[in-house]
Amino acid sequence: MGGVAVLARQAGHKVTGSDANVYPPMSTQLETQGINLMQGYKAEDLKEQDQVVVGNVMSRGNDAIEYVLNKNISYTSGPQWLAENVLKDKWVLAVAGTHGKTTTSSMLAWILEYAGLQPGFLIGGVPANFGISARLGEGAFFVVEADEYDTAFFDKRSKFVHYHPRTVVLNNLEFDHADIFEDLNAIKKQFHHLVRTVPGEGLIVHNSDEENVQDVLHKGCWSQQAGFSSGNESNKKKNLWNIDNVSAGGRCFDILYQDEKVGSVESHLLGPHNRMNALAAIIAAQHVGVPVKQSIAALKEFKGIKRRMEIVGEVDNKTIYDDFAHHPTAIMETLQGLRDAVGKAKIWAVLEPRSNTMRLGVFKQQLAASLALADEVILFQPADVEWDMQLVVDNVSGSAKLLRSIDGIVDLLAEQSRSGDHILVMSNGAFGGIHQKILTALS
């Protein structure tokens, strides 16, 4: 919604916004763009608007929503506003999947920018190469992070069905968003709705290692396809694109097209998931005319995304990272990437269960295994999370602790971390400003 607000502002509209808790980097971005923020959702903040764009966090019974409906104020959803005002005349490149949407769409936008195509984009994070999460762009192309979460209280379709893309990336597919989807099949149905909107001359770039993605395509696909794989031998022969010859640190790898090497990628991003993200972005960019070698050159200069394995500081040779991971698979892949990079150095994994699915305890059976690569695990139990996270602590293979205070976590790290340690903080929220608190305590 912050990105949509930025696009509306760039289009020349006067834009204000309401939210319960805005924090950096989005709060900073909005203020820089001249967008006035109001805390809370109050009817009195909606006196002179021509149109209200409603985020999917809003529900009936909210004072602001009831005022909009009672006063017959024009309203729409973020995805619908985007489709009608920005995307209708663009070649849309949409990146979908449970994991990697922000990174892949950021890589893709940067590749198109590097190639001189001046794309517009809407991304659920802040790519460091751009310093902003959304822009209208001046070219024919628009990159959008295509989310499967529902659109608004009045439109329960997934957001991505509004975008009508010509190029689609399907990176992966797992169960998530347990607050709105009853099971995995319900999510697959929404993904197939997306597939149905892609024209026959369009391209679906899909991860052939992912059985759930293949299930979606088997329901019916009327578009061109480009499969890609991590180099898995069972998939290698049936895929056009593969990864090969990964370096010891994981940052360098070769790309094969029909079993022939077409280039070598150098990237500072960590982990096998980011290699797949990079390959997907390269294939999608080729669909709009960017040569593979030019995409590879662009990725060498890709600087990453805020809150995706972002180093927020180093004190006494202790490195603190901020990461958005909030699903067991993402947690495991993030830790794998860090382990590949730091070798045997000690890793502290600090996790806040903040997503709706995590807070419901849906993944409690998988969490312990996802944290196995960390040497020390600290789980934070918020007061309003009802299930007992001690169940996870008891099943972690290494050392693990459950704490109910952010200050307690900070104190423990200050007392027990040592030179050379890596402290990985994982949350999809502000986590009470814990990153700066850790840096201050270590200093």
State pLDDT tens for residues 329-350: 888 888 988 898 888 999 999 9
Which pLDDT score is estimated for 254? 94
Q: What is the dihedral of CA 206, 125, 436, 310, to 10 degrees?
A: 40
The CATH number that domain 310-442 falls under is 3.90.190.20
235-258 pLDDT per residue, tens: 555 678 999 988 867 789 999 998
Does 359 have pLDDT greater than 90?
no
Amino acid at 24: P
Structure tokens of 336? 């794998």
CATH superfamily assigned to domain 2-73? NAD(P)-binding Rossmann-like Domain (3.40.50.720)
65-93 pLDDT per residue, tens: 999 999 999 999 999 999 999 999 999 99
Structure tokens of 218? 């088997």
Which band of pLDDT confidence, cut at 50, 70 and 90, is reported for residue 353?
confident
Does 375 have pLDDT greater than 80?
yes
192-232 pLDDT per residue, tens: 999 999 999 999 999 999 999 999 999 999 999 999 998 76
Give the Cα separation of 428 and 349 in Å (integer).
14
Q: What is the dihedral of CA 359, 363, 365, 371, to 10 degrees?
A: -90
Residues 337 and 250 sit within 8 Å (Cβ to Cβ): yes
Of residues 58, 70, 61, 86, the one with CA closest to residue 155: 58
Give the Cα separation of 131 and 32 in Å (integer).
11
| Residue 205 CB neighbour total at 10 angstroms | 29
Q: What is the dihedral of CA 273, 279, 281, 287, to 10 degrees?
A: -150
Strand partners, 142: 92, 120
Residue 437 CA: distances (Å) to CA of 24, 346, 383 = 15, 20, 20
Give the Cα separation of 49 and 76 in Å (integer).
13
120-144 pLDDT per residue, tens: 999 988 899 999 999 999 999 999 9
Give the Cα separation of 6 and 28 in Å (integer).
12
Secondary structure string (H, E, C) spanning the chain: CHHHHHHHHHCCCCCEEEECCCCCCHHHHHHHCCCEEEECCCHHHHCCCCCEEECCCCCCCCHHHHHHHHCCCCEEEHHHHHHHHHHCCCEEEEEECCCCHHHHHHHHHHHHHHCCCCCEEECCCCECCCCCCEECCCCCEEEEECCCCEEECCEEEEHHHHCCCCEEEECCCCCCCCCCCCCHHHHHHHHHHHHHCCCCCCEEEEECCCHHHHHHHHCCCCCEEEEEECCCHHHHCCCCEEEECCCCCCCEEEEEECCEEEEEEECCCCCHHHHHHHHHHHHHHHHCCCCHHHHHHHHHCCCCECCCCEEEEEECCEEEEEECCCCHHHHHHHHHHHHHHHCCCCEEEEECCCCHHHHCCCCHHHHHHHCCCCCEEEEECCCCCCCCCHHHHCCCCCEEEEECCHHHHHHHHHHHCCCCCEEEEECCCCHHHHHHHHHHHHC
Q: Give φ, ψ of 125 to 5 degrees.
A: -165, -175
Residues 417 and 390 sit within 8 Å (Cβ to Cβ): no
CATH superfamily assigned to domain 79-300? Mur-like, catalytic domain (3.40.1190.10)
Of residues 343, 347, 337, 128, the one with CA closest to residue 251: 337
> 193 or 273: whose pLDDT is higher?
193
Mean pLDDT over the full length of the chain: 90
Does 177 have pLDDT greater than 90?
no
Beta strands 260-266 and 252-257, pairing class? antiparallel
Amino acid at 383: A
Which pLDDT score is estimated for 16? 93
Give the Cα separation of 126 and 293 in Å (integer).
25
Domain ranges of the chain: 2-73, 79-300, 310-442
CA angle, residues 97, 129, 271, in degrees to nearest 5: 45
